[in-house]
Structure 1
Amino acid sequence: MSSPCDPQHAPAGDVGAALMVIDSRLKAVYDGKAETDPEQQQLSDQFIASLGPSEANDVLDGACTLIYMFMQWLRAAYEHHDRDVIEYVVPSFVASMRRMPKSIRPEVIPTMAGLVIAAATGLSPNLWRKQYGDWTGGEMNPLEATAVLLAEHINRLTDDRDFATRMITEALSSSSQGPWPG
């Protein structure tokens, strides 16, 4: 039986733009900066400000697609070692979010954990979230942080700071058709 949250029903969104934002944040983390370079932040802010409502929703959908793809990769990697992805990813993910109280309010952590679990079980994070109403402004930073934390987890597992970004870039360049799950 097909779920209404099946990824085949989800819009892929603007995965490239979402990846650009996530990659920028990863580079800031790896450079040891708590914040993005001011010039990079200004460019990112200008880009976001230039988006209309439709384009902003596309980037949001793209971020959810990234979360789905990252969790599917992690699921396969952990299953290869006879481990459960939820058991090995979710607790450290939640702990990391709890250590970011300036960016992530405690009440959104369960929603972000739900997105990760939905993706790990093969559901679209975006469609899973939408069944509970519209996205809120307070969920935007945590959504971005979710994608960054998952990408960083993949990069740590592979011992390659660019692996997660490269994996998505290669998937985008090799894909000549959609729709992307997300």
Structure 2
Amino acid sequence: MPSPCDPEYAPAGDVGAALMVIDSRLKAVYDGSTGTDPEQRRLVEQYAASLGPEGGQDLLDGACTLIYMFMRWLRMACEDHGKDVIASVVPDLVASLRMMRRSVPPEAIPTMVGLVVAAGTGLSPSLWRQQYGDWTDAEMNPLEATAFLLAERINRITDDRAFATTMVGRALSSAEQG
């Protein structure tokens, strides 16, 4: 019996916009920026505000789709080396999120871990989260941080600072062509 959290039932959301946010964060970190550029943060906030309620939900679903895609890639990479993706990813993710005290409240960490575990076991993170009600404002930064940390982990594994975003960009391009 298929799960109600099966990815085939999940909305993909605005993956392109979510990818743009994560890509800009990765570039800021790789360029050695300390903190978030206020102008960049203002532009992202202005863009998010312009989306309206439906667009905001699309951006959330897009971020969850990124998490799913990143965890799918990580799962395949771990399996190639005889490792379990959950055991390989979750402890480091929790440690990193705990260090982000200003952006990630401790009470949001279990939800982010749940999203990652759902994705790592082949479930839709957005449908998994939907079971527990609406997203909260306190979960927005942790969601972004989770997607960022997974992308950064992929980039470190591949020794390519653009691998994660390029991988998703290629998948989006091939989906549009097909």
TM range (shorter): over 0.9
Larger helix fraction of residues: 2
* Deviation at residue 177 of structure 1 after TM alignment: 7.5
Cα offsets for 1:130-165 (capped at 9, x unmatched): 101111110000000000000000000000000000
* Deviation at residue 29 of structure 1 after TM alignment: 1.4
Work out whether 1:138 is the aligned partner of 2:138. yes
Runs of 4+ with deviation above 4 angstroms: none
| Residue 7 (structure 2) aligns with | 7
Q: Identity rate of aligned residues, in percent? A: 71
Cα offsets for 1:83-117 (capped at 9, x unmatched): 11111110000000000011001011011001000
- Does structure 2 retain, via aligned residues, the 8 Å contact 1:24–1:36? no
- 1:138 counterpart letter in structure 2: A
Size of the aligned set, in residue pairs, is 178
- Does structure 2 retain, via aligned residues, the 8 Å contact 1:67–1:119? yes
Q: Using the TM superposition, name which of 10-19 and 43-52 deviates more.
A: 43-52
What pairs with 1:72-83 in structure 2 (closer than 5 Å)?
A: 72-83=72-83
TM-score (norm 1): 0.95
* Deviation at residue 81 of structure 1 after TM alignment: 0.6
- 2:96 counterpart letter in structure 1: S
- 1:83 counterpart letter in structure 2: K
| Residue 102 (structure 2) aligns with | 102
Say which structure, 1 or 2, has more relative contact order (CA 8 Å, 6+ apart): 1
Structure 2 segments unaligned to the other structure (5+ residues): none
Structure 1 segments unaligned to the other structure (5+ residues): none
TM-score (norm 2): 0.97
| Residue 161 (structure 2) aligns with | 161
- Write the distance in 2 (CA, Å) between the matches of 1:92 and 1:152: 12
| Residue 118 (structure 1) aligns with | 118
| Residue 175 (structure 2) aligns with | 175
| Residue 55 (structure 1) aligns with | 55
